[in-house]
Amino acid sequence: MTRNTPTNRDGEASQLNDMLCFTVYSTAHAFNRVYKPLLDALQLTYPQYLVMLGLWERDGVTVKQIGEQLHLDSGTLTPLLKRLESAGLVRRARDAADERQVRISITPKGTALREKARTVGHGVVDACQQSRDELKALNAQLVKLRDKLNAS
Amino acid sequence: MTRNTPTNRDGEASQLNDMLCFTVYSTAHAFNRVYKPLLDALQLTYPQYLVMLGLWERDGVTVKQIGEQLHLDSGTLTPLLKRLESAGLVRRARDAADERQVRISITPKGTALREKARTVGHGVVDACQQSRDELKALNAQLVKLRDKLNAS
DNA sequence: CAAAATTAGATTGTGCGCAATATATTGGTG
DNA sequence: CACCAATATATTGCGCACAATCTAATTTTG
């Protein structure tokens, strides 16, 4: 019992960290709940929506490239992409030059879905009820934290 | 094409929101990856760790109370708690007064685990590489956003 | 007090998310 | 050219997360 200085610092930091991690965890779930009814109209889940957002920006990418963008591996993406394929939104085809790779391309139906998807963001923005600047600042701070976590 | 004022505001907001939501989503995964090796030593998953954190603070709570605390429903908690039970960390017992409820109580083994768990937070704090004040501010902003999302 | 409505958990089914493993292709190296 | 390491994807298994449905217990109401 010889601690005159506040050596409970680490304990506090742990609690703070547990708290922050839980806040991030529960905020992700909260976002998901807001997105879900909007995405149900498109017959997409949120991860599927992320994949489609990427493909609308750049078509014909490999599974690996999608995985790097979203931080997901083939164990997650292969079945997800097969579901998008069976929904008629994308095609999956081995690259002729390197048959280890599978390239994902959008179908006309997948392209058409982009129009319906334009309104999705609006509903979520309403739910945030915060200024653009606040949200931008929050996003920037979180990106900084995420990248540090990923680097460690 | 008669838009002199920046009417693309909504489009920008949608993109920002998509971005922020993805940032939260990917930060949650990044946290999980940092926690995982630390929790592996305790044989706990992150959601199980959250449940145990709650029980170490307050024992003998109902499944519903745990669900309200963590924003999870019985479809998630029932099997999770059964796994904690079969690991010998908790007991599940119907409330004598109201048999609809199941009360969760910690076993000696579950209490003992708390000591091993004390060091978990430290490793994650290191990975954050940010000042306590920054993390506190970030947590507060996220809580504000999360509660607004949940309220909508 | 009996019927109806509410509440607490459990069950089932679908879809991630990730570790571990397997398979097939490609690119060196001797 | 045969061998070997590296690469890209697929498969399997486990554990959330949640919607939908079910059962049982309690509370409310007529």
Q: Is A41 on the interface with B (CB under 8 A)?
A: no
pTM of full prediction above 0.85 = yes
Flag the least confident range among B88-97, B98-107, B122-131, B142-151: B122-131
Q: Over the stretch B78-114, which tens digit does the pLDDT of each residue have?
A: 999 999 999 999 999 999 999 999 999 999 999 999 9
As a whole-number percent, the residues of chain A with pLDDT over 70 amount to 90
Q: Is B56 on the interface with A (CB under 8 A)?
A: no
CB neighbour burial string for B19-31, b if at least 16 within 10 angstroms, e if fewer: ebbbbbbbbbbbb
Point out which residues pair with A106 in neighbouring strands.
A90
Query: Is the CB atom of residue B64 positioned under 7 angstroms from any atom of strand C?
Result: yes
Which are the contacts of A24, defined by CB distance < 8 A and separation ≥ 6?
A142, B24, B27, B28, B31, B142
Q: Over the stretch A85-138, which tens digit does the pLDDT of each residue have?
A: 999 999 999 999 999 999 999 999 999 999 999 988 887 877 888 888 888 999
Task: Please answer whether residues B57 and B69 qualify as being in contact, where contact means their C-beta atoms are separated by less than 8 angstroms.
Answer: no
| Average pLDDT rounded to a whole number, residues B19-37 | 95
| Average pLDDT rounded to a whole number, residues B60-73 | 96
Q: What is the pLDDT of residue B7?
A: 37
The pLDDT confidence band at residue B25, using thresholds 50, 70 and 90, is very high
In the 21-50 segment of chain B, residues within 7 Å (Cβ) of strand C are 25, 29, 32-33, 36
| Mean per-residue pLDDT of chain A | 89
Query: Taking CB atoms and an 8 Å limit, are A33 and B126 in contact across chains?
Result: no
Considering only the beta carbons, identify the residue of A16, A53, A142 that sits closest to B23.
A142
Q: What is the pLDDT of residue B134?
A: 87
Mutation site for A-interface testing, chosen from B29, B44, B143 by largest number of A Cβ within 10 Å: B29
Considering only the beta carbons, identify the residue of A27, A145, A149 that sits closest to B146.
A27
Task: Please answer whether residues B83 and B77 qualify as being in contact, where contact means their C-beta atoms are separated by less than 8 angstroms.
Answer: no
Residue B143 CA to its chain's centroid (Å) = 13
Q: What is the pLDDT of residue B14?
A: 64
| Mean per-residue pLDDT of chain B | 89
Q: Among residues B24, B15, B13, B18, which one has the least CA distance to residue B142?
A: B24
Nucleotide nearest to B74 (CA to C1'): C9
Query: Taking CB atoms and an 8 Å limit, are A20 and B126 in contact across chains?
Result: no
